[in-house]
Amino acid sequence: MRVGERRWTYAELDAAVGRTAHRLRALGLEPGDRVASWMGKTWFACMVPLAAARAGLVHVPINPVLRRAQAEHILADSGARLLVANRARLETLEVRPDLAVALEEWDEGEEALPPSAAAPDDLAALLYTSGSTGRPKGVMLSHANLWLGAVSVAHYLQLSADDRTLCVLPLAFDYGQNQLLSTWKAGGEAIAFDYLLPRDVVRAVERTGATVLAGVPPLWVQLAEQEWGGAGANLRTLTNSGGHMPEALVRRLRALFPTAKLHLMYGLTEAFRSASLDPALVDDHPDAVGTAIPFAELSVRRADGTEAERQEEGELVHAGPLVAQGYWNDPERTAQRFKDGAVWSGDRAVVGADGLLRIRGRDDAMIKVSGHRVSPSEIEEAAAASGAVEDVAAFGVKDARLGQRIVLVAVAKGSDAEARLAAWFAAELPAHLRPSEVRWVEALPLSPNGKIDRAALAAGFNS
């Protein structure tokens, strides 16, 4: 593992994980307690998923781009007993756990815990993801979910001990965290890297000699616009998930990196990863996401639960040991999505005559921005909290760079509503949750039952 200029051998990594696990338990934490981390890709952020698991604890990573309100929701909802974060982040919180330790003051000590004896189904992590309604919810992942996910990805990507993975995606994503886990499963080197500009990624690929790079469509759009020269000469595995990659972008990446294998993938946090397209088929089938990965069982279902025929659209259903255990403290939504050991994705899909899976869209109102799943109601709640709107509705509109962008339709409340709302969003929301456009109206249209007529509003976006 490499973080900045520091490198760990596997023996050193194992020892550090053991010491970190011991320190977590020495703080008075008990098996099953939740441990939250809120930081960039520091050495602690990389080790704590393993250290928490070794200590019998449940890791709750908080995306470092989130602001105070989102972090406080995750801390409260998860019931985290400990938060480790940079001192500056800790100081922004109005409510935090009794145990809060600044990363700058972390002392792991000398004693170490031995490898875990946890059962495969024991809870290991809560990864927070947005749903179509309400605030982000914690997806419950077991030791087996994380371990088998690493085995599966390392296998179908054909990762090896001489691979160097440049880990640029947030570790709070299942896709991002798996950058570490699958690389370690293969015996390769995981290189943690936070970037500000896409050009930083190009330089890092060249500097580290990276062979593996994972991204989401908006990042690939930015990287495809860069001048690479010989910087990507060592790249041999490229992966995409978190949204559909347009065919023009696929062609551009194939031209930039003709010797690299491009894996077009699909997944959702509730089932980790689901499908991947054989790189040999990408040039002829750039619209597909392939077939089920190892340990995943996929089917396309009609509304009545029966399996759809080939070329018949239905809802994609995931089964098998990669499926999560449900939503933390939310049996109602768990029962709605998780049925008989399977999770109903909400994604519309079809298996073509060629046997390849293609995603058609979503049943719900989720917005997919730069690989993030965004709940419209979360944006609407934030707008209402500003005091600048009387009524509001949020929508996703197709965008070539972001996948979708957020458009807010709002009724103003009081004077200077536009300025007050903009200032509130800038202070309270991370960039991916901020609307790219606010349309001010006198009143929102209502349906016959008195609810906001979202269909009428959405129709206006295409006019």
DSSP 369-402: ETTEEE-HHHHHHHHHHTT-EEEEEEEEEEETTT
Share of the chain above pLDDT 90, in %: 78
Q: What is the pLDDT of residue 448?
A: 53
Contact between 150 and 184 under an 8 Å Cβ cutoff? The reply is yes
Write out pLDDT tens, residues 292-302.
Answer: 999 999 999 99
Superfamily of 142-363 according to CATH: ANL, N-terminal domain (3.40.50.12780)
Write out pLDDT tens, residues 59-70.
Answer: 999 999 899 999
The β-bridge relationship of strands 34-38 and 82-85 is parallel
Going 247 to 248 to 249 to 254, the CA torsion angle's sign is positive
Mean pLDDT for the stretch of residues 253-263: 97
Q: Do domains 142-363 and 367-460 have the same CATH topology?
A: no
Residue-range domain boundaries for the chain = 1-118, 142-363, 367-460
Write out pLDDT tens, residues 186-209.
Answer: 999 999 999 999 999 999 999 999
The Cα–Cα gap between 36 and 388 comes to 33
Write out pLDDT tens, residues 14-43.
Answer: 999 999 999 999 999 999 999 999 999 999
Contact between 186 and 153 under an 8 Å Cβ cutoff? The reply is no
Write out pLDDT tens, residues 100-144.
Answer: 999 999 998 899 999 999 999 999 999 998 755 567 899 999 999
- Domain at 367-460: CATH code: 3.30.300.30
Distance from chain centroid for Cα 138: 12
Helix (H, G, I), strand (E, B) or coil at 343: strand
Q: What are phi and psi of 255, to 5 degrees?
A: -75, -40
76 pLDDT tier (thresholds 50, 70, 90): very high
Torsion (CA) 330, 296, 267, 147 in degrees, nearest 10:
80
The Cα–Cα gap between 342 and 271 comes to 9
Q: What is the pLDDT of residue 87?
A: 96
Name the residue among 311, 315, 321, 291 with its Cα closest to residue 301: 315
- The structural architecture, per CATH, of the domain 1-118 is 3-Layer(aba) Sandwich (3.40)
Q: What is the pLDDT of residue 445?
A: 85
Q: What is the pLDDT of residue 451?
A: 59
CA dist list (Å): 68 to 38, 91, 406: 11, 10, 21
Mean pLDDT for the stretch of residues 283-287: 94
Write out pLDDT tens, residues 369-392.
Answer: 887 878 787 888 789 889 999 888
